[in-house]
Amino acid sequence: MTADSATDPKVAEVLLPLALEGAYSYGIPDGMTLRPGDFVAVPLGPRQTIGVVWALKAEAGTDKKLRDVIGWFDMPALSETHRKFIDWLSAYYLEPAGNVLRMVLRAPGAFEPPREQIAYRATESVPKRMTPQRARVLEIAREGFAMRAAELAEAAGVGTSVVKALAKDGALEAVALPALRAFTEPDLNAGGFTLSKDQAQAAQALRAVVAQRQHKVMLLDGVTGSGKTEVYFEAMAAALAAGVQVLLLLPEIALTGPFLERVEKRFGCEPAQWHSDVRPRERERVWRGVADGTARIVVGARSALFLPWKKLGLIVVDEEHESAYKQDEGVPYHARDMAVLYGALAKFPVVLSSATPSLETLVNVDRGRYGVVKLKDRHGRPELPEIGLIDMKSVALEPGAWISQPLFEQVEATLASGDQALLFLNRRGYAPLTLCRACGHRLECPNCAASLVEHRFRRQLMCHHCGHLEPMPQACPHCGVHGKMVPVGPGVERLAEEAALRFPEARITILSSDLSRGTLLRDGLRDVAEGHYNLVIGTQLVAKGHHFPHLTLVGVVDADLALESSDPRGGERTWALMAQVAGRAGRGAKPGAALVQTYLPEHPLMKALRKGDRDSYLDQEKIIRETAGLPPYGRLAAIIISGTDAHETERFARNIGMIAPLAEGVTVLGPAQAPISIVRGRHRIRFLVKATREVNIQGFLRLWLKDVKPKGSLALQVDVDPYNFL
């Protein structure tokens, strides 16, 4: 035995993608050399699973015979930064590291040998026998591209047997195609505009930060349409020139074809995409490309953070204020915050871009922790179109009507002048509530403590919490009386019905996530942009960054929805949404206007909205948050206890409440029934932990929950920095 092999590590600590706290020990068989970060196959009970080497040890601590690592995957190891990132995220959110690792392994195909594809191309030789079918195949094959048998057969309108027979005759030859299409290197000067003076300055500031190759967070703050995208493209170009990989994060809903085309034009190559619609084979390609460093630009939704980055050097988070960056199921994490963490661990800059930055980010700018560059509207327009308030307490509405007279008149005038109007209501479906007029019974979800929402187009009742569907009953399920079920309150479908009655000449369309997805949605948005419709009824789907040049009037039907919620960020969200939806108006040649229906015209938010004064509103909001000790001035964590049995769940929650430790600067609120007290048949009870910024809230939670073991149907979920309070 040589001296070297005597000191070779004999044990690998392997993290497995399971809800396990730490890594598991495995023996390293003779002849196998492992490095930390290597992907390995290991036995687990009767199965085999893929894991990542977290550490190597000279010897096992015990005499217990360890099972051996089965095999090693010939692919780049997971970087030390990435492993640190997983450990940090796990500690921050009190989530087993294995659950975080599972998010890294979301491309199963990447662990199978790459499959080659066989394609065919024409040879010089002529087949012994010629038929019209064979001639068609050869004609296409002679165009020069190697094609798979099925593709070639389809193009020629023949069966695949014709292709195979030609290959046997020697008129076609089989060639192996690379299993996965390679990524193209970006061309940094492929596209782009001549930047305005403001843009050029902002771009220069970001480039300077990128050149530092250090951790620094920069906020890019400017109204929609001010040209932020072009500016952060310059930061991306600078990072790409330095040889690193770049991640552009977007809320899933904003990952549209036109946006991707913009990236492609700017960088002269198709960026790698990562989101829920990406097919398995493409996921495999992107995963491998990110791991070996050939995928230089990735445009993705939040989970793209977990791809096995080889040399990530810049993250841009567009629409950084979006709550879609917070994942609530599985591992609850906030992708913007974790992007900043990744940048801090790997020492690279992070750019946050928004027209309505979150208060968290703005306060970080105030404190000097983040830098900021601002863009003014290059058209010299005010930040927002003129916003008028309609005091709904002073207008009379017919029952079942939601469009007030002043709004009606403005819409009519807009349509008459040949322009487009948008009526915005952030509620899907026909009516949020259905009641029986005979007995007062309301239709509820059988699995959740929530009303069923009528979706009239789909002729169904739907639960927006669990997705339960049922047909609209003819008779009241409670009292049996026929024909007395009535809708209460509006959804977009009902608003469209009212609009059709009151604007009989209008060409109306509804844009709502449940009615249009994918290509249907793309077509719908394009039709609106091209002016095929002149009255658009929409949910927040229409608010997100779309460009409708003919739109000059936005009517907000109910601005109070989020303000009245118990969400501490309700005001901030309302501001962002109002600014976004009002900002849809007047993006073309003509100026736009917005009219907002509210029962709270005296609310500071409404007043600031009318003046278009974001900073004064946010200053007030900061004071409110600071006084209440809410984020970003204090810390929050939620604990959600759930179980199928109401009493058992309650008892479990009470017992947990009783062992809450006392700690300075920490207040525990609850246990209290969650606002939606039953979801999917599970009763839900919440605690809210409020702490000052100095408190290590994770330490407090760990101490509190260390001996808590939910049994049977009971479950306990910790949500650090919660964004959802339902």
Q: How far apart are CA 367 and CA 381, in angstroms?
A: 30
Q: Are 10 and 32 in contact (CB under 8 A)?
A: no
Chosen from Zn ion, ligand ADP, none, partner binding at 225 (C-beta under 5 to 8 Å by type): ligand ADP
How many amino acids of this chain bind Zn ion (CB under 5 A)? 7
Q: How far apart are CA 79 and CA 347, in angstroms?
A: 14
CA 139 → CA 123, 124, 126, 619, distances in Å? 12, 12, 12, 71
Shortest Å distance, C-beta 426 to ligand ADP: 21
Q: Which of 79, 90, 99, 224 binds ligand ADP (CB under 6 A)?
A: 224
For Zn ion, what does the binding mask look like between residues 466 and 485, x meaning CB under 5 A?
A: x-x-----------------
Kindly report the number of other CB atoms within 10 A of residue 9's CB atom.
17
Identity of the residue, 286 or 297, whose beta carbon is nearer to ligand ADP in the bound complex: 297
Q: Which of 222, 289, 371, 538 binds ligand ADP (CB under 6 A)?
A: 222
**Sheet with strand 245-249: strands edge to edge:** 272-274, 297-300, 245-249, 312-318, 350-354, 217-222, 371-375
Q: Which of 83, 216, 228, 288 binds ligand ADP (CB under 6 A)?
A: 228
Kindly report the number of other CB atoms within 10 A of residue 558's CB atom.
20
Chosen from Zn ion, ligand ADP, none, partner binding at 465 (C-beta under 5 to 8 Å by type): Zn ion
Identity of the residue, 468 or 603, whose beta carbon is nearer to Zn ion in the bound complex: 468
Owner of token pair 């509210």: 598
Q: Are 298 and 292 in contact (CB under 8 A)?
A: no
For Zn ion, what does the binding mask look like between residues 208 and 247, x meaning CB under 5 A?
A: ----------------------------------------
Q: How far apart are CA 21 and CA 94, in angstroms?
A: 10
Identity of the residue, 153 or 445, whose beta carbon is nearer to Zn ion in the bound complex: 445
Identity of the residue, 226 or 552, whose beta carbon is nearer to ligand ADP in the bound complex: 226
Handedness of CA 592, 596, 597, 601 (dihedral sign): negative
Segment near ligand ADP (CB under 6 A); pick from 9-17, 227-235, 339-347, 565-573 = 227-235
Q: Which of residues 128-167 bind ligand ADP (CB under 6 A)?
A: none
Identity of the residue, 431 or 445, whose beta carbon is nearer to Zn ion in the bound complex: 445
The upper half-sphere exposure of residue 166, i.e. CA atoms within 13 Å in the direction of its Cβ, equals 34
Chosen from Zn ion, ligand ADP, none, partner binding at 196 (C-beta under 5 to 8 Å by type): ligand ADP
C-alpha triplet 194, 196, 197: angle, nearest 5°: 125
Chosen from Zn ion, ligand ADP, none, partner binding at 193 (C-beta under 5 to 8 Å by type): ligand ADP
Q: Which of 140, 195, 435, 640 binds ligand ADP (CB under 6 A)?
A: 195
Segment near ligand ADP (CB under 6 A); pick from 17-25, 191-199, 211-219, 576-584 = 191-199
Q: Are 321 and 357 in contact (CB under 8 A)?
A: yes
110 binds Zn ion (CB under 5 A): no
Identity of the residue, 109 or 681, whose beta carbon is nearer to Zn ion in the bound complex: 681
For Zn ion, what does the binding mask look like between residues 414 and 453, x meaning CB under 5 A?
A: -------------------------------x-xx-----
**137 phi, psi to nearest 5 deg:** -60, -45
What letter would DSSP give residue 648? H
Coil, helix or strand at residue 588: coil
465 binds Zn ion (CB under 5 A): yes
Task: Using CB under 6 A, list all residues that contact ligand ADP.
Answer: 193-196, 199, 222, 224-230
